[in-house]
Amino acid sequence: MRIDIEDLGAHRGGRPVVSGVSVSVPSGTVLGLLGPNGSGKSTLLRAVSGIASPSSGRVLLDGTDLASLSRRETALRVAVMTQEHSEEFEIPVLDMVLLGRIPHGHGFGRDTGRDTAVAMEALGRVGAADLAHRSFSALSGGERQRVLFARALAQETPVLVLDEPTNHLDIAHQLELLDLVRTAGRTAVVALHDLNLAARSCDAVGVLAGGRLAALGAPEEVLTTGLIRSAFDVDSTAVAHPDSGRRHFIFDSRTSTRRRDDAAPATPSPEGITLP
């Protein structure tokens, strides 16, 4: 399913946080969203997933305006992995993953055999099948992330929206989760912090700075030491991987001479992504 984000603006807590963002994500590709803390990644993802309505612009899924879809219709198209979780009441891991089946069922309905099978398979794919009967709140941070990702998979949607899915994960599970995203055959928008990981795992990356899209394109074109300096205020050195030749960044130090506020805005690249 193709995603077209058109001139999107979004508020959070009554304050404009994102403005003028236009991105197209072709069906089956992975778009990585990068940017410093507070640059608007989560707010943009909330608008793209339909959790919050945008203040301006629109989001199209295969040409259908997200705003014209009911909550359930949206949930059948977009699965979301957010960073918030309410801790007040206890819930077993399998029940947590089965929540992903809600859009597929009716009000009081029991979980069907297929619901349980899909949920167990999703847990298996993230390597968490043995956690099924544990209590969610008794899990480690990384285990929780994988269970929440399994819930998103169990929702069986063509689109995945993932807000920092690799948080708390060890390096093996980071790589594995992003490989799962790549091979799931779904369209994905993923907020990430690790630039090298993003370069490795995304078909395209968008860099947000101050709520605007500072750069957009294939990772090897967009990610440069210059962009890292202007967007993150960090000096870095690019090195080629000895085997693959792929560009990696070594972070040297925080750019001390100027603050981000004074930084010249990076030139946005033309809209739309060119894919390799």
Partner 1 sequence: MTETTSGHPGARPPGRSPAVPGPERGAAPPASAAPPAPAAPRRRGALAVRVLVPALALALAALLLLSTSIGTIEVAPADAFRIITGHLVPGMPWMSDGSLTPVQDNAVWQFRLPRALLAALTGAALALAGALIQAVVHNSLAEPYILGVSAGAGAGAVSYIVLGIGIGSLGIGASAFAGALLATGAVYLLARKNGRIAPQRLILAGVALGSLFSAVTSYLTITTDAQNVFGIMFFLLGSVSAATMGHLALPAAALAAVGVFAALRARALNALLVGDDAAASLGVNVNRLRTTVLAASALLTGAVVAVSGGIGFVGLVVPHVARIIVGSDHRKMLPVAVLAGAVFLAGSDLLARTLAEPTEIPLGVLTALVGAPFFLWLLRRDRAEGAGAGR
Q: Which residues bind partner 1 (CB under 8 A)?
A: 46, 49-51, 71-76, 78-80, 82, 84-92, 94-96, 99-100, 102-103, 105, 107-110, 113, 116-117, 120-121, 123-125, 127, 129-130, 132-133, 135, 137, 143, 155, 172-173, 175-176, 179-180, 182-185
The number of angstroms, rounded, from the C-alpha of 206 to the middle of its chain's C-alpha atoms is 11
Q: How far is the CB of 261 from partner 1 (least distance, A)?
A: 30
Q: How far is the CB of 153 from partner 1 (least distance, A)?
A: 10
CB nearer to partner 1: give 95 or 233: 95
Residue 44 token pair: 């943009």
The CA dihedral of 154, 156, 157, 161, to the nearest 10 degrees, is 20
Cα–Cα nearest to 154, from 99, 204, 228, 203 = 99
- The type of residue at 1 is M
State residue 127 phi and psi, 5-degree precision. 70, 35
Are 125 and 150 contacting, i.e. CB atoms less than 8 angstroms apart?
yes
CB nearer to partner 1: give 110 or 254: 110
Q: How far is the CB of 233 from partner 1 (least distance, A)?
A: 30
Are 129 and 123 contacting, i.e. CB atoms less than 8 angstroms apart?
yes
CB nearer to partner 1: give 138 or 240: 138
Q: How far is the CB of 142 from partner 1 (least distance, A)?
A: 9
CB nearer to partner 1: give 68 or 237: 68
CB nearer to partner 1: give 92 or 268: 92
Q: How far is the CB of 22 from partner 1 (least distance, A)?
A: 23
Q: Are strands 234-240 and 78-81 parallel, antiparallel or unpaired?
A: unpaired
Q: How far is the CB of 74 from partner 1 (least distance, A)?
A: 7
CB nearer to partner 1: give 68 or 274: 68
Q: How far is the CB of 145 from partner 1 (least distance, A)?
A: 13
Residue 177 token pair: 């989760």
CB nearer to partner 1: give 100 or 210: 100
Q: How far is the CB of 106 from partner 1 (least distance, A)?
A: 8
Q: Are strands 204-209 and 212-217 parallel, antiparallel or unpaired?
A: antiparallel
Beta strands in 143-223 (DSSP E): 159-163, 187-191, 204-209, 212-217
Residue 176 token pair: 């594995």
CB nearer to partner 1: give 56 or 225: 56
End-to-end, the C-alpha distance of the chain in Å comes to 19
Give the Cα separation of 46 and 38 in Å (integer).
14
Question: How many C-beta atoms lie closer than 10 Å to residue 196's C-beta?
Answer: 17
Cα–Cα nearest to 237, from 255, 224, 222 = 224
